[in-house]
Amino acid sequence: MKKTLSIAVAALLSSTAFAGTFAEVSQATDNETAVKVGHSLENGISFDIEGVYSNNGFSDVLGNKKSNGYKETTLGAAWKVELTDNVWVQPQIGYTMPSGNFSATATSGAEPSPFESTEYRASGDKGNTLKIGLKGGYDFDNGMYVAGRYRYDMREDNLKISAESGAKTDNVDIEGSANVHRTDLTFGYKMEVVDLSMNWIHKDGEDKIDLKNATKHKSRAKSTRLDKVEASADEFEFKATLLTADNLKPYVQYTVKNDINVKGGKNFAKDNVFKLGVNYSF
């Protein structure tokens, strides 16, 4: 992990000229603080690294809230290609690495007799997420602009569970995959004083959980699917960036988050998020 971060920072700072370097800090009402730095080369290639700290707890592989602390690191790269004076496309790739693993123990049945109670142990980790996307846009001469992006997010999780009752122990390995199709559509108007934009985000996700190597079912197939969950959600981001301070660009953003619609299940409500941030370019 430290080696990966060192390579990323070295790549960001390898250029002798810092004209394309930026730093961004933001604080949101969901109690997440983000710090991001990046660098753009003259040929349109850019690199960035972002760290997120949570004061509201964050979810482990089981979806349970963990304690506050450092949440995740994301490495990103993109290549913006100007097709004409107004039209551009930008392939993108990102890699998010969550912080920490998950472990827990629980006991059921009578105690203290070990033959009448069962102790359960669980451990696992939320996997890294690979994000591959393609963005394109059109910048009008009057300051208006439109952009669209499609991104595919892929993540693999793993969880190990053991149940010990007396002299008998059963072990189960669970592997999960979480894949999300994300679509963004942005409309904006860049004026002399302020840049106003609205971004619509639509996500279609699918979680699959597979049971591996259960000792109680050695005669069964190597892998048995336990569950498959499909869900979708929409978000609307409204952003205003002040442009009067030269290289310093403070902004405010308000995100409206609709309910997460679970196919064949119960919907989940999400809180709207207000964010304050500032971007400084060198």
Alpha helices in the chain (DSSP H): 2-12
Task: Give the residue from 112, 113, 152 showing the smallest Cα distance to 129.
Answer: 152
The angle at the Cα of 199, spanning 74 to 243, to the nearest 5 degrees, equals 85
CA distances from 282 to 57, 60, 133, 177 (A): 33, 37, 27, 40
Q: Which two tokens stand for residue 209?
A: 């959980």
* Pair 37, 75: CB distance under 8 Å: no
Measured from the Cβ of residue 263, the count of other Cβ atoms closer than 10 Å reads 10
For 75-112, the pLDDT digits (tens) are 999 999 999 999 999 999 999 998 866 666 666 655 55
Can you tell me the distance from the alpha carbon of 273 to that of 61, in angstroms, rounded to the nearest whole number? 23
Q: How far apart are CA 72 and CA 32, in angstroms?
A: 11
For 255, the domain range is 2-281
- CATH number of the domain that residue 216 is part of: 2.40.160.40
Stretch 266-282: mean pLDDT, rounded? 91
Higher pLDDT, 270 or 118: 270
Taking the C-alpha atoms of residue 45 and residue 99, their distance in angstroms, rounded to an integer, is: 28
H or E segment to which residue 226 belongs: strand 223-242
pLDDT in tens, 214-271: 544 444 445 555 567 889 999 999 999 999 988 999 999 999 999 988 888 788 888 9
CA–CA–CA angle 262, 267, 272 (5° rounding): 115
The number of beta carbons lying within 10 Å of the beta carbon of residue 54 is: 22
- Position with higher pLDDT, 15 vs 59: 59
Residue with tokens 């952009």: 147
Q: What is the mean pLDDT of the chain?
A: 82
**pTM of the entire predicted model:** 0.79
CA distance 204 to 186: 18
Name the nearest CA neighbour of 224 among 234, 237, 211. Answer: 211
Tokens read off for 108: 């059921």
pLDDT attached to residue 175? 77
**Domain tally, the chain:** 1
